Homo-oligomer: A and B are copies of this chain.
Amino acid sequence: MKHTAVDVIRTKRDGGVLTDDQIDWVISSYTRGDVAEEQMSALAMAVFLNGMTFAETSRWTQAMIDSGERLSWPVPTVDKHSTGGVGDKITLPLAPLVAACGVAVPQLSGRGLGHTGGTLDKLESIPGWRASLTSAEIRTQLESVGAVVCAPTAGLAPADRKLYALRDVTATVECVPLIASSIMSKKIAEGAGALVLDVKVGSGAFMKSLDDARELASALVAIGTAHGQKVTALLTDMSAPLGRAVGNAVEVAEAVEVLKGGGPADVVALTVALAAEMLSLAGVSVDPATVLASGEAYETWARMIAAQGGDPSADLPKPKHVHVVEAPRDGFVGRLDALGVGVAAWRLGAGRARKEDAVQAAAGVVCHVKPGEAVVSGAPLLELHTNTPDAVEGALTALAGAWEITDEAPPGNPLIIETIRG
């Protein structure tokens, strides 16, 4: 049957279910440029407003995978994907930890856009480190080091890359079928043997409510399972920043602390929990906490950074300007809002507003205290790092109302809220 873009759009516009053939046709034609951007954006809005069934979403995912190459690896592998949060540097300690436990991690990561940072932006604060590797380089490094964190290769799900950029400018981002197919097409095409998803919930996350996060996590797991992918999703808290450091170099420094056996308790706990899930899916029974304590994960980190041209012992960039926010009175940190801190770090220069913007390696926010911790009047609460002091005012605006000092310690939030298995 011969399709036209107008027929496909009309089907979804009128609340119909797209056939497999329509989905395959529209995705491959869009990838080739035969379906125009304005046609795909009308279809995306119709999908946004009228939804897709699970079968449609699963086929859409397959069509996006089929738009490019599907990678495969010479050794057993396991991968992790986070839906994005504030201070979420978990990939940095996690990839070398899992590799040190015996399963290779080919972690193809992204850059930040908006208030959530990007793993590649963080690692680029390490002098000499480079994000772009060829498939052959990734393969070699997986065999020699066991862990790679790098940019996706160009041939991976090109349909998704086009559609992702289009959704960003057409207000069609926040839509579970489109988010789920975007994530899973990339992750399945990356070819890891198993996949653990860290679906963030809370103010600093894409999904603000538990119901929305659970819907997304369930869709991700179901699509993965339908495609024969071993997959588990953890719903984790993102109401406050993860760890104390939010930015680029500051997050690398915190990751290194964790790899050396220190670091904030929540970062350590989440790293170990995700590693345990990844190892379990890969069928390897090694205790990641023990390996972390042994220093082997740090050694793998150092080799991973060096293999990509970075100097793991180099000093990280320091900010030209530091502004300290002090506690106005004695008490407890009752709340420290992830979104407020994320936006502040972004405005200080850690993130970008447009894809083509550069980020400042040294910019970010350091949280001296976290929710539940005691403070005394005048003690530092937050440190704002930037090379552009004019940005401080905007950051302080973002932080207004984002934290509070209370008389009593607030109840703690569980870090890992729920686990959804395939």
Which residues in A have some Cβ–Cβ distance to B below 8 Å?
Answer: 5-7, 9-10, 13, 36-42, 44-46, 48-50, 166, 169-172
Contact = CB atoms under 8 A, between A and B. Distances in A.
Binding site secondary structure of chain A: helix
The 5 closest A-B pairs by CB, nearest first: A9-B171, A42-B170, A45-B45, A38-B41, A37-B38
Contacts of A36: 37, 169
A39 B5 contact: no
Contacts of A38: 37-38, 40-41, 166, 169-170
Contacts of A39: 41, 169-170
A170 B49 contact: no
Contacts of A169: 5-6, 36, 38-39
Contacts of A42: 41-42, 44-45, 170-172
Given A13-B171, A37-B37, A41-B170, 8 more contacts: A9-B45, A13-B172, A36-B169, A38-B38, A38-B169, A39-B169, A41-B42, A42-B45
Most chain B Cβ neighbours within 10 Å, of A37, A44, A45: A45
A16 to B, nearest CB: 12
Contacts of A48: 13
A114 to B, nearest CB: 12
Contact of A13 (B10, B45, B166): B45
Nearest to A13: B171
Contacts of A37: 36-38
Most chain B Cβ neighbours within 10 Å, of A10, A42, A50: A42
Contact of A49 (B5, B44, B49): B49
A36 B38 CA distance: 9
Nearest to A170: B42
Contacts of A170: 5-6, 9, 38-39, 41-42
Contacts of A10: 171
A174 to B, nearest CB: 9
